[in-house]
Structure 1
Amino acid sequence: MTTFPTARDVRTTPEGLVWEPSERWVRGRKGDVTVVDSRHPILVWEPGVPVPLYAFPREEVREDLLRPAKNPRTGTHTGSQIFYDLEADGELMENAAWTFPADDLAAHIAFEWFRRVGRGPDHWYEEEEEIFIHPRDPHKRVDAIPSSRHVQVDIGGTTVAETHRPVLLFETGLPTRYYLPREEVRLDLFEPTDHSTGCPYKGTAEYWSWSGEAEVPPSVVWSYPDPLPAVGAVQGLLAFYNEAVDITVDGERLEHPATPFSKTLSTP
């Protein structure tokens, strides 16, 4: 009988991996095929990677759907030794799963997430809620709180938004984001885009780009039309990248923060 580690066990491997058990029921599907059905997943943090991934006991994985990888992607994961191709729902997906060499993790298999890297199971669930892009970090908190602060947003000297009714979104490791009522944003100065992103904490966002003369990165404004329940207060509101626009809160101009998004934002 398999003995599973208990919650709150946090361990580090010689390779620098940090892992801990999760008590969430996690399932991964490729199309209509359930590839993983686990009540004993573990969360693994690789060195230098800010978000975790899941690994699962082998007995909770459909190993019959895995094939030894024909073209292993060595070096893509910390100390990874064995890669697998996934054959499910009529499709073969190369390097969709792998194992870590650490003794603690030898009996577990990790998977890529299709919506993050383009391969692996394309639908993931924690309990009955679908999650996107990557697992949620239990050590990260996201709070959306209505406020009466005076928030003003300027681009190239033009005031594009101003409100006393923002919702402030506090997310561990990121600057405060200011979500503003749509009617208090000059959306006539922006154009909708086809760009969208998924977030395991907030949901799927839609974007707008600045149409003026100032040099501003594309897709600088976003909104969650149907956010996850935990951040329902931001539904339909609009937020700007602090990294790219000028935001003044209660008369104080905020500095442009350096964040993981700073490198991905580029001017047209």
Structure 2
Amino acid sequence: MRRPRPDTPAPGQESVWDYPRPPRVERVTERVTITLGGEVVAETTDAVRVLETSHPPVYYLPIADFVDGALVDAPGSSFCEFKGAARYLDVHGGGAVAAGAAWNYPQPSPGYGILADKVAVYAAPMDACTVGDETVTPQPGGFYGGWVTSTVAGPFKGVPGSMGW
């Protein structure tokens, strides 16, 4: 499948088609929050985002910035050709449980060491995930964990027909 035609970014937006491959990691200056079961389970000003061609950014928050008991080991693992072996975690908050909704790289590949003590969370099973004052939209498709905000232009991998991008 050939690469899709990128959307033209509006003023203040960046195109996910300008993101690199292999991915780049960069610090985030805005406050990032995650809410589940009506409870804020994580809040930080020390997040990073991973930027990869065709994907909205994946936000990683420090494990230490999750409330006690919010992250519980879950079955399953996966492997990223860039970041290495991932483990999965259930997210608990306000009596709700989002099974396998978070992941991290305890021993990431060289160049991605900053991710070792950070966790990414799928936005869809959460009540809300925010970056600054904006509530994010989950990356389409359910497989990838990107967070779509008004600052990024697509199209985004995960939509029907995007498997070969």
Is residue 2:102 matched to residue 1:205?
no
Question: 2:109 matched to which residue of 1?
Answer: 228
Q: Which secondary structure does the structure 2 equivalent of 1:261 belong to?
A: coil
Larger of the two Rg values belongs to structure: 1
Query: Counterparts of 1:52-91 in structure 2 under 5 Å?
Result: none
Letter in 1 for 2:102: V
The structure, 1 or 2, with the larger RCO (C-alpha pairs under 8 Å, 6+ apart) is 2
Is residue 2:147 matched to residue 1:252?
no
- 1:160 CA drift (Å): 0.7
Q: What is the distance in 2 between the residues matched to 1:242 and 1:172?
A: 20
Question: 1:18 matched to which residue of 2?
Answer: none
TM-score by length of 2: 0.67
Q: What is the distance in 2 between the residues matched to 1:215 and 1:189?
A: 9
- 1:215 CA drift (Å): 6.1
Whether the 8 Å CA contact 2:75–2:100 is kept in 1: the answer is no
Letter in 1 for 2:60: Y
Please give the per-residue CA displacement for 1:55-82, whole angstroms capped at 9, x wherever unaligned: xxxxxxxxxxxxxxxxxxxxxxxxxxxx
Please give the per-residue CA displacement for 1:149-183, whole angstroms capped at 9, x wherever unaligned: 21001113211100001111112222211111111
Question: 2:62 matched to which residue of 1?
Answer: 181
Q: What is the distance in 2 between the residues matched to 1:169 and 1:242?
A: 15
Query: Structure 1 residues 233 and 190, CA, compared in 2 at 3 Å: closer, same or farther?
Result: closer
Query: Counterparts of 1:14-33 in structure 2 under 5 Å?
Result: none
Q: Structure 1 residue aligned with 2:123, among 242, 249, 255? A: 242
Q: What is the distance in 2 between the residues matched to 1:196 and 1:221?
A: 11
- 1:200 CA drift (Å): 0.2
TM-score by length of 1: 0.43
Return 5+ residue gaps in structure 1 as ranges: 1-46, 49-138, 264-268
Please give the per-residue CA displacement for 1:166-206, whole angstroms capped at 9, x wherever unaligned: 11111222221111111101250332123111110110011
Return 5+ residue gaps in structure 2 as ranges: 3-19, 145-157, 159-165
Q: Which secondary structure does the structure 1 equivalent of 2:100 belong to?
A: coil
Query: Structure 1 residues 224 and 214, CA, compared in 2 at 3 Å: closer, same or farther?
Result: same
Letter in 2 for 1:183: A
Question: 2:45 matched to which residue of 1?
Answer: 164
Query: Structure 1 residues 191 and 219, CA, compared in 2 at 3 Å: closer, same or farther?
Result: same
Root-mean-square deviation over aligned CA pairs:
2.3
